[in-house]
């Protein structure tokens, strides 16, 4: 019979004094360490709907859906983000690459919640985070969310007045002019001052007011 090593004896004594290293989970709640990576927790307040988290997600667990509808004859759209935890590997990429990660309220943070087991997969997901989309006035294609553009405008400061799309968004947000008055009414080519995608803006800049190059 081989005698136990000194190292094993020391470990056995420590266990007798301090108790086992394991916990009694699930009979008792387990408190993970501070650095533990549990499920990502999105914030409707901090999220700007840019979709950067979905772009870097290696498993595609963040589902982004764009819904289009009409209201009073006007075409509107919204972007919906949902975290599917049954597809998530808790890598933390969404929190690490979040555009607002350094803000007071980030768009998504890693929580220490890990007990997500459920027999219904539809219950293992976050609440829907919805954002109003800004559409091109000409072709109707998606430019970005309104909250994202306002975030960019805030970061640019006075430089925002170099981008007509951002000026339009600020005008709608701040309402510094009456609804029936726009700052560009003096100009003959009013459509150039509307919100356009890069493709449509290029076409407008190439054509004059008579529709000719």
Interhelix angle for 146-156 vs 164-174, to 10°? Answer: 110
Confidence of residue 16 (pLDDT cuts 50, 70, 90): confident
CATH code, domain with 102: 3.30.70.3270
Q: What pLDDT, on a 0 to 100 scale, did the predictor assign at position 82?
A: 96
Q: What pLDDT, on a 0 to 100 scale, did the predictor assign at position 174?
A: 56
Among 23-32, 67-76, 129-138, 175-184, which stretch is predicted with the lowest mean pLDDT? Answer: 175-184
At which of 134, 164, 179 does a domain end? Answer: 134
Most confident of 115-119, 168-172, 195-199, 203-207: 115-119
At which of 100, 119, 134 does a domain end? Answer: 134
Query: What 8-state DSSP symbol labels residue 5?
Result: P
Q: What pLDDT, on a 0 to 100 scale, did the predictor assign at position 196?
A: 82
The helix (run of H) or strand (run of E) holding residue 56 is helix 52-56
If one compares 185 and 194, the residue with the highest pLDDT of the two is 194
- Both 155 and 91 in a single domain? no
- Both 59 and 125 in a single domain? yes
Q: Is residue 59 part of a domain?
A: yes
Angle at CA 44, nearest 5°, toward 40 and 48? Answer: 95
Q: How far, rounded to the nearest angstrom, does the alpha carbon of residue 125 sit from its chain's CA centroid?
A: 15
Domain that holds residue 173: 136-213
Taking every pair of Cα atoms in the chain, the longest distance, rounded to a whole number of angstroms, is 101
Q: What pLDDT, on a 0 to 100 scale, did the predictor assign at position 31?
A: 84
At which of 134, 162, 184 does a domain end? Answer: 134
Confidence of residue 195 (pLDDT cuts 50, 70, 90): confident
Structure tokens at 56: 């870097």
89: alpha, beta or left, given left = phi > 0 and alpha = psi -120 to 50? alpha
Q: Is residue 31 part of a domain?
A: no
Supply φ then ψ for residue 19, to 5 degrees. Answer: 95, 170
- Assess contact for 78 and 91: CB atoms under 8 A: no
Q: What pLDDT, on a 0 to 100 scale, did the predictor assign at position 79?
A: 96
- Both 86 and 115 in a single domain? yes
Instruction: Tell me the average pLDDT across 188-198.
Output: 69
Q: Is residue 198 part of a domain?
A: yes
- Its pTM stands at 0.75
């Amino acid at each position: 019979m081989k005698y136990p090593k000194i190292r094993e004896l020391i470990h056995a004594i420590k266990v007798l004094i301090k108790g086992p290293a394991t916990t009694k989970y699930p009979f008792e709640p387990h408190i993970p360490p501070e650095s533990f990576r549990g499920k990502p927790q999105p914030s409707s307040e901090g999220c700007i709907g840019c979709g950067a988290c979905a772009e870097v997600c290696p498993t595609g667990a963040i589902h982004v859906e764009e819904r289009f509808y009409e209201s009073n004859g006007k075409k509107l759209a919204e972007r919906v983000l949902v975290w599917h935890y049954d597809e998530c590997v808790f890598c933390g990429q969404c929190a690490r690459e979040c555009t607002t990660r350094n803000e007071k309220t980030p768009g998504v943070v890693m929580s220490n919640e890990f007990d997500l087991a459920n027999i219904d997969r539809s219950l293992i997901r976050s609440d829907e985070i919805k954002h109003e989309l800004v559409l091109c006035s000409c072709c109707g294609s998606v430019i970005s969310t309104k909250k994202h553009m306002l975030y960019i405008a805030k970061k640019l400061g006075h430089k925002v007045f170099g981008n007509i799309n951002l000026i339009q968004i600020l005008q709608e947000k701040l309402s510094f002019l009456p609804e029936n008055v726009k700052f560009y009414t003096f100009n003959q080519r009013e459509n150039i001052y509307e919100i356009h995608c890069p493709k449509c803006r290029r076409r407008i800049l190439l054509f004059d007011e008579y529709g000719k190059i």
